[in-house]
């Protein structure tokens, strides 16, 4: 089980301190779990379940509050799949744009698209609509290769 490296902890502590927040054991454990489950896009409830193994007294409300806070300060970001609950993923410091997601409507697998590809489109829209774009959310719904191979779907 990989834990937070000391450089990661430093970075986290600084991000929090910048806005006047503290790095509590609970907050640390939550970030730890999110990092350890990178790519899994955990829901708040799932984070709660996992965090309890190393922080048994933690309350669900704390997880909700923390996850909101971490989103605010830009350590993690919310991913809405519109299935009734919010999911979260870490933001890597090298990332300067939100990546996109391919969502398989058959098996619910989520594939990340790291290529940006949206830059020229954004420029065009900013000009045409006189709108300053600060962020974006791009999701593609469809059928992944495994589900297509399985033969049931084309």
Partner DNA sequence: ATGAGTGCAAATGGTTTGCAAGGCC
Partner DNA sequence: GGCCTTGCAAACCATTTGCACTCAT
Query: Which residues are near a second copy by CB under 8 A?
Result: 78, 80, 82, 102, 104-105, 111, 113, 115, 117-118, 121-122, 124-125, 128-145, 148
CA distance 96 to 119: 11
Say if CB 71 and CB 88 are below 8 A apart.
Answer: yes
**What is the three-class DSSP state of 80?**
strand
Does the footprint of DNA cover residue 50 (CB under 7 A)? no
Q: How far is the CB of 84 from a second copy (least distance, A)?
A: 11
Q: Which does 42 bind (CB under 5 to 8 A by kind): a second copy, DNA, none?
A: none
Report the distance separating Cα 92 and Cα 86, nearest Å.
19
User: Is residue 55 within 8 Å of 9, Cβ to Cβ?
Assistant: no
Residues that bind DNA (CB under 7 A): 16, 20-22, 24-27, 43-45, 55, 57-62, 64-66, 68, 84-86
């Amino acid at each position: 089980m990989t834990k937070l490296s000391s450089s990661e902890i430093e970075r986290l502590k600084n991000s929090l301190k910048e806005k006047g927040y503290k790095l509590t054991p609970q907050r640390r454990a939550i970030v730890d779990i999110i990092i350890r489950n990178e790519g899994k896009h955990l829901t708040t409830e799932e984070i709660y379940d996992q965090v309890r193994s190393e922080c048994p007294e933690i309350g669900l409300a704390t997880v909700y509050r923390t996850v909101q806070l971490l989103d605010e300060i830009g350590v993690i970001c919310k991913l809405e799949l519109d299935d009734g609950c919010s999911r979260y993923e870490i933001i890597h410091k090298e990332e300067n744009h939100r990546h996109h997601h391919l969502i398989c409507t058959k098996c619910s697998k989520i594939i990340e698209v790291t290529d940006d590809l949206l830059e020229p489109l954004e420029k065009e829209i900013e000009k045409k609509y006189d709108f300053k774009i600060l962020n974006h959310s791009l999701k593609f719904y469809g059928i992944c290769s495994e589900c297509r191979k399985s033969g049931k779907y084309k």
